[in-house]
Amino acid sequence: MSRLRAAAVRGLRRQRRGSGSAAPNGRSSRAPARPHALHLFGDPVEIDALRGRLLAWYDKSRRDLPWRTLAAAELDADRRAYAVWVSEIMLQQTQVATVIDYYNRWMQKWPTLQALAAASLEEVNELWAGLGYYSRGKRLQEAARKVVSELAGRMPRTAEDLQRLLPGVGRYTAGAIASISFGQATGVVDGNVIRVLCRLRCIGADTSSLAVIDCLWDMANTLVDRSRPGDFNQALMELGATVCTPKSPLCRECPVKEHCHAWRRVEKELASASQKLFGKTTLVPDVEDCGPGGCPLCLPAAEPWDSSLGVTNFPRKAAKKQPRVEWTATCVLERRGRLGAPEYLIVQRPSSGLLAGLWEFPSLPLAPGLQEEQQKEVLADHLRAWTRQPVQTQSLCFIGEVVHIFSHIHQTYVVYSLCLDGDVALDAASSPSRWVTEEEFRASAVSTAMKKVLKARETQRGVQSGRAKGSKRKRESKLGAAGSTPTGMQLSLRAFLRAQPPP
């Protein structure tokens, strides 16, 4: 029995012996229950075997990703750390397939910390537009400027210093940069790693709790390979992303299934079911269990093991908080440009809060329960402040509703359009604003939600154009029926051959 396992068992024995004691104030003095050895990695032989199998699989099966290629080829430690840093920030809450194009364009535009530090926030927002969680780009640039101005362009070399000195760099990002770029033997814990570790050690407790997260970090630091920490951490994340997936995991292809307690439980249940099917009486040993109650990492008693779920019993997640519902009135305000093409008014959002610093069509929050006429009234008042001229509610044309889901907000944009005649002088005292063509709009730092709004307006314009053409055809048809032939309209063969009246 390993020392770690023995220590865990001794701790459980002490807890059981002291279960009846009470503190003078009437509360139990019993210390919080310690994790059972089932949930721990304590055997050095097993740890070495797991490391070897996982790294061998990674060397053979890892995906070819631009940040990995760049980090492997870059000899300068600071540039290597910057390349890893950018990828880790972009990959937060965003899929790899989405990130690749953004990453390549970013590194082409700003290949060094110094180049990023010299850029404007407007440029950063423009390139980040569509990637979501827009504050990430802003914080990344702020931290890059700090490295250049206060740290002489030299990246901190340890996870502890990275987290302490750089704004926006948390424990995971610091661990990833330090292990991949500088070879520090420190673990990482992200969503993929949480899923892998929970299945390897049957951790069914709420993974959002601080105690469980601390346990997972301890486990990651125990497992990380000392000679190849960066590769090991990437291998663990790669395993979670491609094999040990949230749904339909590829367990039979997993390189470390021999170390997986969840897999072992599934296999033993299948063996037991097979014996019963063929009428055999040989007993299959029960899966190792923690015993009754007290373990802080087991599945909760109210949500026991479900055989139909298999390894996806782990991890269990707390109920997701429902996003709050918000409504916003938005107006696509347009005028005819110098070349005849429409131009749109966009305004800049505040420098803090949701979608900070991005550009949008003039918008304002709507109070719940407003009817359409009331929505038009508050929107017209808002537009008067921008255009400094009267805006009649009847001139606002309803386009429709555009729904966009942020991480914590279910946002519905109630969209109207308004076409202005002639030049319009904008209020310089208001937030920054400008007129842009459609091409300029798409190149600006605008959110995906605003792109949806413009698409709704273009769809409306197409419908209106189709109706106008249909009305024209109807008018021409009526004229033809009256015996006249409009200019440009071709006569039918019957009309052409019809006898003409004598002169």
Predicted local distance difference test score (pLDDT) of residue 278 = 67
How does pLDDT run across 488-500, given as a tens digit for each residue?
333 333 333 344 4
Position of tokens 């497992």?
Answer: 223
Q: Is the pTM of this model over 0.85?
A: no
Could you list the beta-strand ranges (E) of 390-438: 397-405, 409-420, 433-436
Are the CB atoms for 375 and 329 separated by under 8 Å?
yes
Q: How far apart are CA 123 and CA 129, in angstroms?
A: 10
Q: How far, in Å, CA of 229 to CA of 175, rounded? A: 10
Contact between 333 and 383 under an 8 Å Cβ cutoff? The reply is yes
Q: List, for the chain, all residue ranges whose pLDDT scores fall below the cut of 50.
A: 1-30, 283-287, 472, 475-503
**For residue 77, what pLDDT is reported?**
97
pLDDT at 403: 96
Instruction: Specify the pLDDT at position 5.
Output: 38
Residue 497: per-residue pLDDT: 39
Pick the catalytic residue from 46, 74, 88, 343: 88
- 228-248 residue pLDDT tens: 999 999 999 999 999 999 999
Name the percent of the chain in helix, strand, coil, to the closest 5.
50, 10, 40
Q: Are strands 359-360 and 324-336 parallel, antiparallel or unpaired?
A: unpaired
**Element spanning 342, H or E:** strand 342-348
Residue 88 annotated to the active site: yes
Q: Which residues, 6 or more positions from 458, have their beta carbon under 8 angstroms from its beta carbon? A: none
Gap between the terminal Cα atoms of the chain? 120
> Closest Cα partner for 217 from 205, 207, 227?
207
